[in-house]
Amino acid sequence: MKNLIDLKGKVTLITGASRGIGKATALLFARAGSDLVINYFRNRKEAEKVASIAKTRDVQVEIYKADVSSKSQCEKMVDFTFKKFGKIDILVNNTGIWKYAPIDKMTVSQLKETLSLNLESIFYLTAKVVPLMKKQGGGNIINISSTAGQRGEAYHSHYAATKGAIISLTKSLSTELASYNIRVNCVAPGWVDTDMSHSSLIGKDRKWILDQIPLKRAAEPEEIAGAILFLASDLATFITGEIINVNGGAVLCG
């Protein structure tokens, strides 16, 4: 009998998948039967580990090194995926950086790094996969935003601006691409315990952070991956242009 969520025969490209939310997503998608391209930037060993766990689910897995802030590297990665598998069904734009920068101290290079990695990368990858998805009769794009994109974030205004832009980009592309059977959705996590946020979650701000989350804890990466998988699945075939908040209720209190 077919599983309720079954990605067998699907091909998924996930950016920043050697750790954190990207890793959890890769492993969950492998459990659901999807073949994978796991993008990493620096840590090949960690990417190999993720790939070897994923392969125990009897799926095909490739790892691919690319700096997603580079247009040409994004394009080469999509070409690689297409050559290897002959299609790309699902693109998960997960990569992101979150750096402290008060507005009057923010350098131009800090600003550009965040804009380019968090936002431009999504334009590069999406622009390259869309013609392939159009040709193959459909596809699924899932972007990772943040509560910061909805309510802003002090000292991280560049980050929050990219995450807000990801929400409007998702909505724009969902209507632009709907007639091609390409769904475009977004998951907006609140605090998640990953390398990105761990030092804040165990530091002096811990109490202040947890006080703003009705569920009184940060998410595990797997809890974000669940929402991403749902959007990629056939349970979500009528959902496009949607932002799924996964934040323990936090956005209600911010």
Binding site for ligand NAD (CB under 6 A): 15-16, 18-22, 39, 41-42, 67-69, 94-98, 117, 144, 146, 189, 191-192, 194-197
Whole-number Å distance between alpha carbons of 240 and 251: 21
Phi then psi dihedrals of residue 13, to 5 deg: -105, 125
Give the nearest distance from C-beta 51 to ligand NAD in angstroms: 13
Catalytic entry in 40, 124, 159, 180: 159
* Amino acid found at 142: I
- Between 208 and 238, CB nearer to ligand NAD: 208
Whole-number Å distance between alpha carbons of 61 and 84: 10
Q: Which helix (H) or strand (E) holds 72?
A: helix 71-85
Whole-number Å distance between alpha carbons of 48 and 45: 5
- Between 68 and 133, CB nearer to ligand NAD: 68
Give the nearest distance from C-beta 24 to ligand NAD in angstroms: 8
- Between 134 and 151, CB nearer to ligand NAD: 151
Give the nearest distance from C-beta 106 to ligand NAD in angstroms: 17
Give the nearest distance from C-beta 185 to ligand NAD in angstroms: 15
Q: Is 159 a catalytic residue?
A: yes
Half-sphere exposure of 174 (CA within 13 A, CB side): 19
- Between 53 and 180, CB nearer to ligand NAD: 53
| Angle formed at CA 237 by CA 13 and CA 117, multiple of 5 degrees | 35
Q: Chain-centre distance of CA 170, in angstroms? A: 12
- The set of catalytic residues is 159
